[in-house]
Amino acid sequence: MSLDWIVKIISNNWSMFLRGAGITLLISMVGTIIGFFIGIIVGVIRTIPSPEGKAKRIFVKILNAILFVYIELFRGTPMIVQAMVIYYGSALAFGMNMNRLYAAILIVSINTGAYMAEIIRGGILSIDKGQFEAAHAIGMTHFQTMMNIILPQAIRNILPSIGNEFVINIKDTSVLNVISVTELYFQTKSVSGNNFRYFESFFVACVLYFIMTFTVTRILRYIEKRLDGAENYVISDIEIEKQSVILASGNRDAVSY
């Protein structure tokens, strides 16, 4: 490896590397966000309790079966194959000439949604069942229970897994070069094809991938710590007074919050 060649490659092709890294971040970020919302919808639907009516029960079973097929199909096949099938298959079957960037975001979103659905479903199931029962006891619907009680806790619990999916997507966007998306890997291939210095060119790409994933990981760790709050905190005088009244009366309803 020649350091001079690395410096020369960066100085001559920095705009291509920068553009490729930007496209990589754009696809992975938008794809992860859309996939997250797909995962929430699918995860919530798959945790709907069996309804009482026969027609509703059949509908829920059919819907769960469709979602199960979607999850298993996209988790059980490589993204590179999905990209080929969706991009070229849509052109062959429907005559659609999809924009490559939009196609890339669609592919990453659908793929991420399948993984997010199981992550979120696991997060929902990790919440104590007593909270579901308490919510239903006061007349809350399944949707209200999820939005107000379960999902805020579940999302906090699965935040490391969501961050991990984001990091994976940053790396997996490299497979989208098969449909000629000009992300970082594609740009690096172009650079190396121009100067025939493959090792040095891909070494630069390797460093850029590491910088992106490391930075994203540090940001997500910071967010997790912020959500956890301070390890030691001081209860305000008002709260102390309220707790004293509660203990003295032996009845939690004695204090109006």
pLDDT digits (tens, 9 = 90+) for 158-181: 888 998 999 999 999 999 999 989
pLDDT in tens, 201-243: 889 999 999 999 999 999 988 888 887 766 555 555 555 455 5
Query: What's the mean per-residue pLDDT of the chain?
Result: 85
The answer to whether the CB of 110 falls within 8 A of the CB of 38 is yes
Which domain CATH number covers 186? 1.10.3720.10
Res. 144: pLDDT tops 90: no
How is residue 132 written in tokens? Answer: 């579901």
Stronger pLDDT, 235 or 90, i.e. the higher one: 90
Distance CA 228, CA 153 (A): 11
Looking at the structure of the chain, the number of domains it has is: 1
Res. 143: pLDDT tops 60: yes
Q: 104: how many CB neighbours lie within 10 A of its CB?
A: 30
* Rounded alpha-carbon distances, angstroms, from residue 51 to 48, 126, 127: 8, 22, 21
List the one residue out of 14, 25, 66 whose CA is nearest residue 204. Answer: 14
Q: What are the phi and psi torsion angles at 119 (to 5°)?
A: -65, -45
Q: What is the mean pLDDT of residues 105-110?
A: 95
List the one residue out of 75, 72, 52, 53 whose CA is nearest residue 64. Answer: 72
Residue ranges in the chain assigned as alpha helix (H): 3-46, 54-75, 79-94, 100-125, 129-137, 142-145, 151-172, 184-195, 198-228, 237-249
How is residue 117 written in tokens? Answer: 């659905």
Q: What is the pTM of this model?
A: 0.82
The answer to whether the CB of 177 falls within 8 A of the CB of 171 is no
List the one residue out of 160, 191, 162, 176 whose CA is nearest residue 26. Answer: 176
How is residue 142 written in tokens? Answer: 């399944």
Per the structure, the complete domain to which residue 100 belongs is given by 3-254
The answer to whether the CB of 212 falls within 8 A of the CB of 25 is yes
Distance CA 143, CA 139 (A): 12
